[in-house]
Amino acid sequence: MRIVVLWQLLLPLTAGILDVKISTGQADRYADFVVLFANIPSTVLGTIVDRLGCMTWVTSATMTPA
């Protein structure tokens, strides 16, 4: 279900998504998402990171410029 929430949040930016990597740890019950964007303003990405960081099930949300 949480993957659906992530995609709903990213839906307006799908044209700028170059790559997605999802890693899961079944024993630890976590998922690690890495999304690579192109041509998306850093202010927009910062807003997305902030919104993700406010979700109770998110342990960490960061933006790393290329």
The 10s digit of each residue's pLDDT in 28-45 is: 777 788 888 888 888 888
pLDDT above 70 (res 1):
no
pLDDT above 70 (res 59):
yes
pLDDT of residue 56: 87
How many whole angstroms from its chain centre is CA 61? 7
**Distance of alpha carbon 66 from alpha carbon 64, whole angstroms:** 6
User: Among candidates 15, 5, 16, 4, which has minimal Cα distance to 51?
Assistant: 5
pLDDT above 80 (res 19):
yes
**Distance of alpha carbon 64 from alpha carbon 57, whole angstroms:** 21
Tokens of residue 15, six digits:
């044209």
pLDDT of residue 45: 87
pLDDT of residue 15: 87
